[in-house]
Amino acid sequence: MMWENFTEALYTVFQLKTLLLMFLGTGAGLIAGAIPGFTIAMAVILTLPFTFSMPPLQGLATMIGVFVGGLSGGLMSGILTGIPGTPSSIATTFDGFTMARAGKPGLALGLGVWSSFFGGLISAVALVLLAPLLADLGLEFGPWDYFSLVLFALTITASLAGENMLKGLIAGAVGLLVRTIGEDDINGIARLNFGMDSLEAGFQFLPVLIGLFAFGQLLSDVKDRVRARQPLMKDTGKAVKVEHLQAIKTIFRSWVNLLRSSFIGIFVGVLPAAGGSISNILAYDQAKKASKTPEKFGTGTPDGIIAPESANNATAGGALMILMALGIPGDVVAAVMLGALLIHDVVPSPSFITDNAELAYGIFIAFFIAHPMMIMLQAVCLRGFLLVTRVPMYTLAAVILAYCAIGVFALENSTHDLWTVLIFGVVGYAMRVLKFPIAPMILGVVLGNMAELNLARAYATASDMTMFVSWFVLRPWSAFFLLLGAFSIGFPWYQKAYGKKKWTLAYIPLMAIALALPMFFMQGTVRTIVAAALLVWAAYALWKRHSGGWKLEVADDRFAEMKE
């Protein structure tokens, strides 16, 4: 059965039309990634309307092409001009641009492109191997656990907003509120529509997303009248020959760095809402710490390109993994993918891989082959992609706004959706101006229904009110996620006080102890062993710090880099 599903998926993905669409998608992603201010999420959102009429797998394969292309596109402008096309390539510029300026742009590009390729492949393997395991784990979740998981997803997203955590939490709550407008999914009762017929069906998820993300982002990009009229990049570099062979040899020599960075990428991708913008900096930081020559970082060392580029592409696999296994989007791009699946009446859940095996295998295969496509396109059309960055931003903004209108109308043939885009475009822009993070609100909109449905299921399952409330802390998985959520709320304070206050020395060991406790009550021996290991490590860390007199370590620059 498994083999049958795999061959079916292989047949669909390897159809000429699908491959062509993926090629176009990867190319579009590379272009979008190369344009500073044009995020990957926006590129994937804009691709979505084209995929409405396609079969689910074809549409998703195209979007995966855009996703993979976008992750790699940012490195081209970053290396050649020092301006990263996307936040996922910020750390790449530290050594990539320096190496290019030192007369080796071909090697810098080669390292970037091939690190992206290998990072993506490693995460594709992890996706294939781990997604079914994670889905099996998800089958243990009851409604209480799912509700707590959503809470954790929202708190960690807000906490990643750094100093603006309170604003992040407010944005997440507003997102949840937006999702409650219109007919209640459980009982079909109209609510919060203020007597307006048009609001009875509520707001569609995608027009809200396009308004908040694309509309708001575009207007932020053209806010400055003078800059909006200038080309995005005047100097897009001279003709560069990518040194493929030399790059591959260098990467293989740094295989430990490649593996470590890819695993960091996968791990960050699995965390809800933590995307490539974080993983590339974390991986760079870890590579620098592990290096025998850390002083070379920032001067054009190959390891400084390999780490961020392999990590940001590996993040995609992690994000897809958590989406396919649990239905929780790993980042904004995965949230759009979730929207695309829902349009085709496919609801990701722990049984997704078994119920929609052909689609699941198709996603694995598409993710795999998008990487060689990206390599081919970058090798052939490098300069062509960079030409797009000579277009002034205001031209792109006007054309994309019109495209958003046509695309959103195509969703349901409704002008109500177009007004939704405008309203949430205003909200998204205002949020940017007032420094409210957008990602928690998007996650709130995406996960609002899931939270309410599971709360209602928990209420219906519980025999009385005491059981309904107490099971949130008595069920191991629910307690685990609530504890994770609580510690993620404290994370911004930890970041701020790291290296300055003594309590930060105990924060991580205490978190390990807290998380180990519910793990002891979970099924299976593996989790008990992991819990025991966590306890032993935490006890050792606390003892070591106690015997060291709770001496503060000098704060390194990792959080400063992350904030930037």
Partner 1 sequence: MSRLNTDTVSAIVILAASGVFFWATFDIEKMDYRSLGAEVWPRVVLILLFALTFAYLFQSLKQGPDKKSEGGGVIGWIGRYQNALWCYGLFAAFLLTLDYLGMLIGGVLFVFLTLTALGERTLRALALHAAVSIISVGFMWSVFTYGIKVILPQGEIFSAW
Which positions lie near partner 1, rule CB under 8 A?
Answer: 49-50, 52-53, 166-167, 169-170, 173-174, 176-177, 180, 184, 186-187, 189-192, 194, 218-219, 222-223, 225, 228-229, 392, 394-395, 397-399, 401-403, 405-407, 409-410, 413, 415, 418-419, 422, 425-426, 429, 434, 451-452, 455-456, 459-460
Closest approach, Cβ 529 to partner 1, in A, equals: 37
d(CA 370, CA 364): 10
Q: Is residue 321 within 8 Å of residue 269, measured between CB atoms? A: yes
3-state DSSP call for residue 481? helix
Q: Which residue type, as a one-letter code, is found at position 86?
A: T
Nearer to partner 1, 222 or 359 (CB): 222
Helix and strand numbers (H, E) in the chain are: 26, 0
Rg of the chain (C-alpha set): 23
How many other C-beta atoms are found inside a 10 Å radius of the C-beta of residue 7? 12
Closest approach, Cβ 422 to partner 1, in A, equals: 6
Closest approach, Cβ 196 to partner 1, in A, equals: 11
- 457: tokens are 């299921």
Nearer to partner 1, 405 or 542 (CB): 405
d(CA 357, CA 474): 34
Closest approach, Cβ 277 to partner 1, in A, equals: 24
3-state DSSP call for residue 330? coil
**What letter does residue 164 receive in the DSSP assignment?**
G
**Closest among 548, 547, 469, 483 to 512, alpha carbons compared:** 483
d(CA 73, CA 311): 14
Nearer to partner 1, 229 or 502 (CB): 229
Q: Is residue 557 within 8 Å of residue 284, measured between CB atoms? A: no
Burial of residue 406 (CB within 10 Å: 0-12, 13-18, 19+) is exposed
Nearer to partner 1, 231 or 372 (CB): 231
Nearer to partner 1, 122 or 150 (CB): 150
Closest approach, Cβ 305 to partner 1, in A, equals: 36
**Closest among 344, 355, 351 to 325, alpha carbons compared:** 351
Integer CA distances (angstroms), 293 to 94, 287, 288, in order:
16, 10, 8
Closest approach, Cβ 436 to partner 1, in A, equals: 8
What contacts 451, CB < 8 A, 6 or more positions away? 147, 150, 151, 176
Closest approach, Cβ 229 to partner 1, in A, equals: 6
Nearer to partner 1, 161 or 242 (CB): 161
- 106: tokens are 């071909």
Q: Is residue 68 within 8 Å of residue 276, measured between CB atoms? A: no
Q: Which residue type, as a one-letter code, is found at position 81?
A: T
Nearer to partner 1, 493 or 520 (CB): 493
Find the angle CA(390)-CA(394)-CA(400) to the nearest 5 degrees: 95
Closest approach, Cβ 7 to partner 1, in A, equals: 29
Closest approach, Cβ 434 to partner 1, in A, equals: 5
**Closest among 214, 246, 293, 288 to 48, alpha carbons compared:** 214
Closest approach, Cβ 53 to partner 1, in A, equals: 5
Nearer to partner 1, 453 or 530 (CB): 453
Nearer to partner 1, 409 or 498 (CB): 409
In DSSP notation, 81-141 reads HS--SSGGGHHHHHHHHHHHHTT-HHHHHHHHHHHHHHHHHHHHHHHHHHHHHHHHHHTT-
Secondary structure percentages of the chain, helix, strand, coil, to 5: 80, 0, 20
Nearer to partner 1, 6 or 52 (CB): 52
Nearer to partner 1, 134 or 426 (CB): 426
Nearer to partner 1, 154 or 516 (CB): 154
Closest approach, Cβ 450 to partner 1, in A, equals: 12
- 247: tokens are 């790059």
